[in-house]
Amino acid sequence: MTAPIRLALVGIGKIARDQHVPAIAANPDITLVACVSRSGETVDDLPSVPDLAALAASGIDVDAVALCTPPQVRYSAAAEAIANGWHVFLEKPPGATLAEVAALADAADAAGISLFASWHSRYAPGVAPARDWLAARTIGRVTITWREDVRVWHPGQAWIWEAGGFGVFDPGINALSIATHILPCPFLIERAVLDFPANRDAPIAARVDFRDTAGAPVAMDLDWRQEGPQSWDIVVETDQGTLRLAKGGAELTFPDGSTPMSHEGLHGEYPGLYARFAEIVQAGTSDVDVAPLRHVADAFLRGRRVTVEAFDE
């Protein structure tokens, strides 16, 4: 495909408006042609339809869709899009289960459709240089601290507390998407403790211990009850000093104290995602890495559930 990819945005919520829309507008290889929203939301007065069936019947020429829906309904929407011959951009996490994503990958492959499991945190500016630096080092210990205030970042989002909504692993999977990308050896879960509020079906906090295949411990601390300064940090102790990624990968500090880049917010992450999506569509390939989702699934499989006080906004 050489002409701009005609894309429909499915689910017009905060992340779609704040990140997807400007990233699409800045990419000459992609043109936003429609919105899909049950409530009729739209962008820039573009046509809006309530569902994918209506989009298929609308006569609007569409090549691809970007799914910004909750993970519990992402599989059915993606499967319908693939059946319609549309390439699919999946917001993270790519599905509610590993089996769903595997089925989508098989369906996309059979249909010759490009499927993209997007992990926006991998496109933070500090991640690629951190990966390059760590490739030649021996890892001693990794500490992941991802603590934020759910009232600030997910106000009123009831779905995130439901079964399949991931709870604190919704941001925690961002940390895992970075760790699985930058660490030179795979890591495996050893134990986990998951804190479930008495009135919720998803955890508000988790402590997870992994160990990589070379023997280095990887400890992850997730908590949605953080007030004040928020923490999105990965510290990697190596045989040649300690590397630090802060602000979700936006700030990288090498062992000598040098900080080659420091940005606020999701600097360049979604433009990077859409550049990658255009690349795979034009090449006729897919990019579906389930490693971060697999670790979340393992945490639920191996984790000890602890009931904590009820959480209300």
CATH number at residue 51: 3.40.50.720
- Percentage of the chain beyond pLDDT 70 is 97
From the number of C-beta atoms within 10 Å of its C-beta (0-12, 13-18, 19+), residue 122 rates as buried
Query: 295 pLDDT band (50/70/90 cuts)?
Result: very high
DSSP 56-96: HHS----SEEEE-S-GGGHHHHHHHHHHTT-EEEEPSSS-S
What pLDDT, on the 0 to 100 scale, is given for residue 14?
A: 87
Active-site residue identified among 92, 181, 200, 207? 92
Separation of alpha carbons 273 and 94, rounded Å: 14
pLDDT for 97-147, tens place per residue?
999 999 999 999 999 999 999 999 999 999 999 999 999 999 999 999 999
14 catalytically annotated: no
Within 13 Å and on the Cβ side, how many CA atoms surround 241? Answer: 10
Query: 259 pLDDT band (50/70/90 cuts)?
Result: confident
Give 163's contacts (C-beta < 8 A, 6+ positions apart): 201, 202
pTM here? 0.94
pLDDT for 172-192, tens place per residue?
999 999 999 999 999 999 999
Q: Which helix H or strand E contains 111, and what residues bound it?
A: helix 98-111
Q: Is position 289 within any domain? A: no
Same domain, 96 and 172: no
- Among 59, 83, 117, the domain-final residue is 117
Cα 203 to Cα 23, 162, 192, 296, 307, distances in angstroms: 31, 10, 12, 12, 9
What pLDDT, on the 0 to 100 scale, is given for residue 268?
A: 77
Same domain, 90 and 199: no
CATH number of the domain to which 202 belongs: 3.30.360.10
Position 133: which residue type? W
pLDDT surpasses 70 at 308: yes
